[in-house]
Amino acid sequence: MLFNSIEFTLFLPVVFLLYWFVFNRNIRLQNLFIVAASYLFYGWWDWRFLILIFFTSLCSYVAGRLIESRPRQARWISAANIVLNLGILCTFKYYDFFIQSFADLFGFAADSLLLKIILPVGISFYTFQALSYSIDVYRKKLQATHDIAAFFAYISFFPQLVAGPIERATNLLPQFLRSRTFDITQATDGVRQALWGLFKKMVVADNCAILANYVFENHATESGGMLILGALAFTFQIYGDFSGYSDIAIGVSRLFGFELMRNFHFPYFSRDIAEFWRRWHISLNTWFRDYIYIPLGGSRGSKASIIRNTFVIFLLSGLWHGANWTFVVWGAYNALLFLPLILAQRNRRNLGEIAEGRIFPSGREIIRIAATFILIVIGWIIFRAENIDHAWEYISRICSPALFEPVIWPDSWFETAFIHSLIGIVLLQTVEWFQRSKQHALQFNRGGVIRFSAVRFSIYYLLLIAIYLMFAQQQAFIYFQF
């Protein structure tokens, strides 16, 4: 079920009303209802996926109980749960990829060895969420829960189930264990954030997708200028798509009294690549930091060990995104961009807000933002390409005489998508720049002209009109495939 679908438009108000007006007197019934609603939401794609998420949830719940009750065997129980969950993930997501890669390397047919199974939607997200629980129980950062309904609700909570944020049990699980009351301020702010997420998805991302898909599919015959346009389109497509999903997930969760972690912090305003990765997909990056980077030694050892640890988490992050060598190369590319910052000990230089206390950035900040953005765009070309050859040909053609060929629109539909994308991107970047110190772009202080309700509601209606007039063909969220 997609957030931008008619089905979800009907699903959400029904679940909301039942949650607050029928099941609100008993927290356990409320949690069971969340599980039922979440399983309906998730099973809408394919009911068979429910078997896997049920099994993952049950195993992680039992592992937590056993770790707590059998401290002498806790390490082995925790390790067994990690192996089991990662084994399921690797079987569904990576088995065919590695078998086919091995066959290509040694030149034999692999068809008879391939499983050819459907990748369950969002399996990487809920698997990492389940792993964080058992690891934190083992580390004694969290007590094992005895409330199976609350635990199953934590793993399957429908707003963030299929594309994050990847919630830690230390943050989200306790919220299922305490009673919740409806907070109108929390709910209305959630609606605003969800509205902004829909705008980013339906106006920015889906229109940019039309441009990016056409250019990447026809890269061999298009001009260098068109290839640059395609790369920029995908750059804003993936941001609008993924951060839009996170905004909707966080906003919808607030309607039910839950606070999810922030997943994006206006990343395209970053002044170096380290700052970008502190602002992009925060839940995944902090997961790798806490469960892999720091246990490996983090930044405490020699320069060589720090570089090794950096490459490990970026290569794993690349592989987490999908079974394709382009993702591994993309991870290595970002790790290489980190090297100068690590060697110069400047990877934590830009921790504060960009242009704090000022309307516009300085000239030096503009140069740093632009340089970082260009490096990010190159990385997204690798990420979007079908294979390594595709990425190489795409980048090589931009750097060839094709760069000076005239840009020719393929048809009127392309021009319409371009105009809608341009309007959406300009509005997106402008609003987010002036709101860069806020938790989300529509979080307004009650000062200045915003104190007038007419002004605030005008903004909301303008966004709704923009969504209605400029929405493109409905497309699934990019990160559903991960």
H or E stretch at 36: helix 27-43
Distances (CA, A) of 148 to 8, 109, 158, 256, 341: 27, 46, 17, 20, 45
Report the alpha-carbon distance of residue 477 to residue 263 in Å, rounded. 16
* Residues 219, 393 contacting (CB under 8 angstroms): yes
Quote the tokens at residue 52: 């896997």
Pick the catalytic residue from 265, 321, 390, 440. Answer: 321
**Sign, Cα dihedral of 183, 184, 185, 189:** positive
How many alpha carbons fall within 13 Å on the CB side of residue 394? 27
* Closest-CA residue to 375 (of 424, 419, 341): 341
In this structure, the chain runs to a length of: 482
* Closest-CA residue to 194 (of 245, 120, 127, 133): 245
User: Which residues have a Cβ under 8 Å from the Cβ of 102 and sit 6 or more positions away?
Assistant: 110
Number of Cβ within 10 Å of residue 434's Cβ equals 11
- C-alpha of 332 from chain center: 19
Quote the tokens at residue 347: 């990877």
Q: Determine whether 281 is an active site residue.
A: no
* Closest-CA residue to 284 (of 479, 125, 172): 125
How many alpha carbons fall within 13 Å on the CB side of residue 147? 20
Helices (H), 256-280: 273-279
Write down the residue that tokens 């997943």 correspond to: 263
* DSSP string for residues in 353-378: -TTTT-SS--HHHHHHHHHHHHHHHH
- C-alpha of 351 from chain center: 22
* Residues 41, 163 contacting (CB under 8 angstroms): no
Instruction: State the catalytic residues.
Output: 321
